[in-house]
Structure 1
Amino acid sequence: MTDRDGSSERRTPAARDLRLVIPTLAVFAATWVAGAVRPAEAAAVGVVLAVAAGVAVLWSVAIGTRPGPGTRAQLDRTALAVLALACAVGAVAAGVQAARVHALAAHPLIESVGGRTGVRAVVTGFDRPVRTGGVMVPVRVEVTGSGTSAREAQLDVVLLARNGWSGLPPGTRVQASVAVLEPRSAGEPPALRALSAPRVTGPPGWTGRVPAAVREKLRTVSDRALEGEAAGLLPSFVLGDEGGVSTETRDEFRASGLAHLAAVSGANTTYVVGAVLLAAAALGVGRRGRIVAAGVGLAGFVAVVGPEPAVLRAAGTGAIGLAAMGAHRTGRPLAALGAVVLLVALLDPSTATGAGFVLSVSATAALVVAARPVALRMRREWMPDTVADVLAVCVVAHLATLPVLAASGLGAGPWALPANIAVAPAVPLVTVLGTAAAALGPVWESGAVLLAAACAPALWWLDTVAGFVAGLPGSPPVTPG
C-alpha cells in the first residue's frame, strides 16, 4: 500500500523497532534499583547482572554449536542475545549509579549538611520563583570552602535565594556563603540556601547573554501586547520564565495538572519543527528543503530558549523525531532514540530518570511510531496533507505525555487528564507563535508584538481551564495571594 506522496507504509517493519526496548528498560530498572540502595548493594546488583550476561552469551554459543540450528535455534539465540545485552547494560548502569552515589557521599558539601560554608559556582540555568518567595537557581558547585580548606569537586545543586540572585544569566560565575540543607531523599544532592548576595567573579559567555536578552525582550513584548495574567503566561510557556506569573496563578496550574506546560520538553520542539515544516510546504519547498528548514528552526529554538541541559535534551530527542518525519521511517529513528536514551542513562542516571527527560522521550517515541499512521487517518479531501501531518504531530506528542505526567505526579489531581486534553489545541499555538515572537523581538519588536497579541485567545483559554479545574472538588487547594 502506497500513500499520496509515493512512500510505502510497509517500509518499516515494526519488529525491527523494538530491538533496544528491553535493554533500555533494563537500564532504567537497574538505575532505579541502584539508586534506592547503598553503593555496595548497587555494586552487587551490577555483578549479578554481569554474571547473567555472561551466562546468556555462553548459552547462546552452546546453541550455535548444535547441528542443524534451524529457525527455532536462531530465535533462541536472538532472544539470548537481547537478554545478554540487557543484562550487560543493566550491569553498567548499576555500576555507574553506584559510583555516582559513592561520589556524592564523598563530596565536601555532604560534610557541611546542616552547617554553613563558602562556595564557588557557575550558574547553569535561569532562576525560577518559589512559592515561599525568592528564586530557585540551578548552579554547579566547583569549589567548597575557602582559603586553605577549599576543596575542588563539582556537583549540580539547586540554590534557594532572595536578594541579588534573580536574573543571573547561565554561565555567570559566582562566589557566596551558603547554608547546606538536608537532601530530600537518599541518593540526592543537598540543596543550598544563600546567606549572602552573589559576588560575580566571571561574566557569562554569549550562550548565556543571548538567551537572557531574548527573555528580557519577550517580557517587554508581552507587556505591550497582552493584559493581565496573559502578559506573564506567554514567557512562561515559551521560555519557562515564570517571573511575571502571580503565585496564585502558578498554584492554579499546579492544582489542575498543567504546571508542566512551563517546562521546555520534546513536545515544544515538536510543535516548532511541525510549524516550520508546514510553512515550508506551503511555500512549495521540497522534502529535503523542508528538513533543512526544520533543522534550522530547531537550532534557532535552542538559541532562543537557551542551551540549558533540559533544552539540549529536548532538542536531541526532537532531532530524532525530525529524522523520522523526514524519512517516513520508524526503524532507524526509533533505534536512534533508544541509543540516545541508553547513552544518557549511562552517563547521567539522575537525568535519565527525571520526569523532564522521560516526557521528551515519550513525545518523540510517539511521534516516531504513531504520527504517520494518525496523519493518514486524519487526511480528508478538504484538508491539505501537510495540515493533517502537523496536526497529527501535535496531538500525538501531547497525548503521549499524559500517562507520564500522571505517573510522575506532575499531573496532580483527579482532573489533570481532562484538563490536559482540554488545552491540547491551545498549547501548540502558544508555543509556535510565542517562540516566533521571542525570536523576532530583538530585531523587530512591533512584529513580535503582533505575534504575541495573536496568542491572547489561547492564553485566555489556558488560564480559564486552569482556574476552573483548580476549583473543582478533589483538586489540591490553592492559597490566594
Structure 2
Amino acid sequence: MSAPHRVPAVRDLRLVLPTLALYATVAATAGARPAAAAAVAVVLAASAAASTWWAVALRGGGHERAALGLLSLACVLGAVGAGTQAARAHVLVAHPLVEHVGGRTGVEAEVTGFDRPVRGGGVMVPVRVEVTGSGASARAAAIDTVLLAREGWRGLPPGTGFRATVQVLEPRSAGEVPAIRALGPPRLTGAPGLTGTVPAAVRERMRVVSARALDGEAAGLLPSLVLGDEGEVSPETREEFRASGLTHLAAVSGANTTYVVGAVLLAAAALGAGRRGRIAAAVVALGGFVAVVGPEPAVLRAAGTGVIGLAALGAHRTGRPLAALAGVVLLVSLLDPPTATGAGFVLSVTATAALIVAARPVSVLLRGRGLPVPAADVLAVCVVAHLATLPVLVLSGLGSGPWALPANVAVAPVVPVVTVLGTAAATLGPVWEGGAVLLARACGPALWWLETVAGVASGLPGSPPPPSPGGAR
C-alpha cells in the first residue's frame, strides 16, 4: 500500500511567495531603463523597511508578525531583483558592442552552444563576445549573444574560440542584447575542450545512426528531437512543426530529463535495485544525459528542474520539492534574468511544478484503475507535464496557431518514447552502432505519428502561413 500524498506544510512553502515576488519584479523590469529599474528597487526597499518596522512594533499577534516578515522578505528580494536588472541594463548600455549597432566591428569570441538553422537559410550560433574592436580600439567586456551566419560556421563545437568581422544588428526590443551577423568565415583561435568535442562527436554519430535506421524526414527528426540538432531537418518540415505548435519539441527541457531519468529509475526498480541503487542509477543517467546532449545552459537548466520533478514522485510531501524548485527559480532570477524570463525556463519550471503537485496523485488514481505501478508512474508524468505546459506554449507563441493545443495533446503519448529510445541510441552510438541503429529504428512509428500530426495540423484552416522570403533577421 502506497504512502498517502501529504499536502505541503506552511513552513515548506515559505520560500515560494518571496520567489514569486522576485520573479515578478525581474520580469516587470526586463528591458526597463536603468533609472526606472533602480526606482522600483528603491520603492520596494522602502516597503521592506516599513513592513519590518511594523512587525517589530506590533505587540503579540504571532501570525500577523510572521505575515509581515514574509512580506518584508518578498519586498527585499524584489528590490534585489530590480537592482540586478538596473545594473544589467547599465552594463548593457555601456558595453562596446552596443556602440557599434548598425555598423561593423571585429570581435574575439567563444562558441557557447551548438548552431541551429534559421528561416531563410544560414545558422544561429550562441557565442560569448569577449573583446570588441581590433588593435588599439579593442575593448575587453564579455557579453552573451547570438551570431547569424551562412558559410563556414556550421558544426563548431562549444568552446571554440574565434575572431571575426561582424555587423552589429539593431535589437528587436529595448534591453535586448544586439545580435551580430558574420561578414565572413571564422578565424579560429582556440580549440574546444572535452565538454564540446564529446557532444559534437555524439551528434555526428547520431546522424549516421539515424540515416542507417530511418528513411525520409524521420532520419533528420530523431537527432532534432533528442539532441536539438536540426541540421538535417528540411525547411518544409520545420515550418510544419512551427505552424502546428510543435517546434518546442526540438528544445531540450525539463521534460526530457524527466523521461530519461524516470525510465532509468523504473528499470532499476524492475531489476530489484534498492533505494540507494535507484538513486545512483538516476545520477549516472543524468550525468550521461548532460554529457551526450552537451553542457549548454538550457541543458543544465533542464537537468536541474527535471531532477526536482523526479524527486517529487518518490516523496510523500510536495512542500520540500516545491521549496527546492523555488530555490532554483530564485537563483536563476538573480544570476541570469534573461534565462529566467525566457520561454524555455518557464516551460521547465511549469512542467516540474506540475509534476511535484499532481504526478503522484494522478499515478495513484491510475493504479486504482488497475494500471501497473511502473506504467501508471510513466503515464502520470507524461500527461501531467504536457497538460501543464500547453497553456505556456500557447501564451508564449511557441504553440502558435489554433491547432497547437490538439496537436500537442495528440503527440503527448509518443514524445517520451522518442526521447527515451532516442537518447539511448545517441548514448550507444559511439560504442555500438548496430545496437544504436536498432533503438533508432524502434522510434520509427512514433516519428511517423509526429510527422503526420504536424503535417495535418499545419494544413488546417487558420494555421500560420509560411514566412515570406527574407523574413529572417
TM-score normalised to the size of structure 1? 0.95
> Residue 296 in 1 paired to residue 292 in 2?
no
| Cα RMSD (Å) | 1.4
Superposition pairs of residues 69-80 of structure 1, within 5 angstroms: 69=60, 73-80=61-68
C-alpha distance in 1, partners of 2:40/2:230?
Answer: 42
Count of residue pairs brought into register by the alignment: 469
Match of 1:340 in 2: 328
Question: Contact 1:470/1:478 (CA < 8 Å) preserved in 2?
Answer: no
Match of 1:9 in 2: 5
AA aligned opposite 1:207: T
C-alpha distance in 2, partners of 1:17/1:108?
Answer: 45
Match of 2:152 in 1: 164
Question: Contact 2:31/2:173 (CA < 8 Å) preserved in 1?
Answer: no
Question: Contact 2:32/2:89 (CA < 8 Å) preserved in 1?
Answer: no
Q: Percent identity?
A: 74
Match of 1:141 in 2: 129
> Residue 21 in 1 paired to residue 16 in 2?
yes
AA aligned opposite 1:300: G
Question: Contact 2:106/2:132 (CA < 8 Å) preserved in 1?
Answer: yes
C-alpha distance in 2, partners of 1:455/1:292?
Answer: 27
Change (3 A) 1:15 1:418: farther
Q: 1:154 aligns with which of 137, 142, 155?
A: 142
Superposition pairs of residues 100-139 of structure 1, within 5 angstroms: 100-139=88-127
AA aligned opposite 1:404: V
C-alpha distance in 1, partners of 2:362/2:11?
Answer: 20
> Residue 31 in 1 paired to residue 19 in 2?
no
Q: 1:325 aligns with which of 303, 313, 322?
A: 313
Change (3 A) 1:453 1:188: same
C-alpha distance in 2, partners of 1:287/1:391?
Answer: 22
What do the CA deviations read for 1:353-402 (whole angstroms, capped 9, x no partner)?
00011111111111111111010001147532122112211221122111
Shift of residue 78 of structure 1? 2.0
C-alpha distance in 2, partners of 1:352/1:480?
Answer: 31
Partner SS for 1:478: coil
AA aligned opposite 1:81: G
C-alpha distance in 1, partners of 2:11/2:243?
Answer: 41
C-alpha distance in 2, partners of 1:85/1:222?
Answer: 52
Shift of residue 17 of structure 1? 4.4
C-alpha distance in 1, partners of 2:317/2:120?
Answer: 48
AA aligned opposite 2:139: R
Change (3 A) 1:414 1:17: farther
Match of 1:375 in 2: 363
Shift of residue 325 of structure 1? 2.7
C-alpha distance in 2, partners of 1:476/1:99?
Answer: 39
What do the CA deviations read for 1:457-481 (whole angstroms, capped 9, x no partner)?
0000001000100011111013699
Shift of residue 306 of structure 1? 0.3
TM-score normalised to the size of structure 2? 0.97
C-alpha distance in 1, partners of 2:283/2:110?
Answer: 30
> Residue 220 in 1 paired to residue 185 in 2?
no
Superposition pairs of residues 194-209 of structure 1, within 5 angstroms: 194-209=182-197
Match of 2:455 in 1: 467
Match of 1:406 in 2: 394
Question: Contact 2:112/2:126 (CA < 8 Å) preserved in 1?
Answer: yes
Deviating more after overlay: 73-82 vs 352-361: 73-82
Question: Contact 2:243/2:463 (CA < 8 Å) preserved in 1?
Answer: yes
AA aligned opposite 2:66: T
